[in-house]
Structure 1
Amino acid sequence: MRRRFVIEAVMVATYGHLLVPGRPIDFVVPYSSICELYDMRDGVEPVMDDPDDDAHVKSKIGELITFFEEPLNRKKIEKALQMPWRESSALLLNDDIQFTIVHAVDNAHYGDYFDPIETELLLSGMKLNVPLLSDQFEFQDKLLEAEVPVQVYDIEDFEFAVEEGIVIEEIDTLRDI
């Protein structure tokens, strides 16, 4: 069974270890996060501080864009974009990695506290009951402060999340202690 995680597309390009998981993974990616890849690839602002790392990550972003633009993948994405909250059919990268693109729709419920991409990530996680992967400590802290009912893993805990994870029922049990 594939483990599912909601994630920003750029994190898949930035963190290479995400593409060599210990078991099959389905990365659920809000479509707006794919659109953001074009700005990152073509923008003058660096994605990474080190120039060599920046060139490498921008190259990986380009590869990811090429993957999403392949005719079959593009067709699956376009079909998902026909209705809010529709998920695409699986976009297969390899035997272990697949992407599901979701046409997430920002709403005002969390819009004042989170930016639009963050809002779409957390709403996707809530709506699909899928944990988030993030490397942004501020975002993770805001999720806790706002008591958003979504599970989040730091990107550094990816292997743990894939192999063991935490079941929501376990969290509820810990709250009762």
Structure 2
Amino acid sequence: MSEAPAHAVAVERCERLLEHDITDLCEATNAAIIEGGGFGWLEPQERETLTRHFRGVLLVPERELFLARLDGRVVGSAQLARPPRYNEAQAIGAQLTHAYIAPYARGFGLARKLVRAVEERAAALGHRVLNLDVRETQAAAIQIFEALGYTRWGTHPAYARVRGQIVAGHFYHRMLEAPRRKGQ
């Protein structure tokens, strides 16, 4: 019996989007939307709409885009949203948002790797808390977040409307450790 070929998995902070990355990103985003999770849109979007969205994310100083890759192709993303500079009181925390992996790329550990990359970046920027929220209907995402040590601190009973139904949403946080300096 032969072994299945190993797949290359990677997560990176995105500073610019190449045309082939936009193509992959739009495909992965719409696949996740169709499957029902992880992005907020309920219907697949036109490529132009998604391109504007992702290029816009790169222009916002308080946002960072992370890409998940499987065999070099973009198959998911997440965003790190930081409070604006003038909000010193809440600078302790940041938000993990719009995190998803396309259904055809699940099972390779990319979701965990994506979340960990966002956590590391948030900690490196001085944040000590990472917050996120998720619809209660997204059981796989909830399972991953809880396995990674996120604490559910609340539930909103009317968090979103999906296909005409009101659904609850859960709110999570995780305390982050300051990055270790070399020699520690």
TM-score bucket of the superposed structures, by smaller chain: 0.3 to 0.5
Give the TM-score taking structure 2 as reference length: 0.31
Structure in which a larger fraction of residues adopt strand: 2
Give the TM-score taking structure 1 as reference length: 0.32
Larger relative contact order (CA 8 Å, sep ≥ 6) = 1
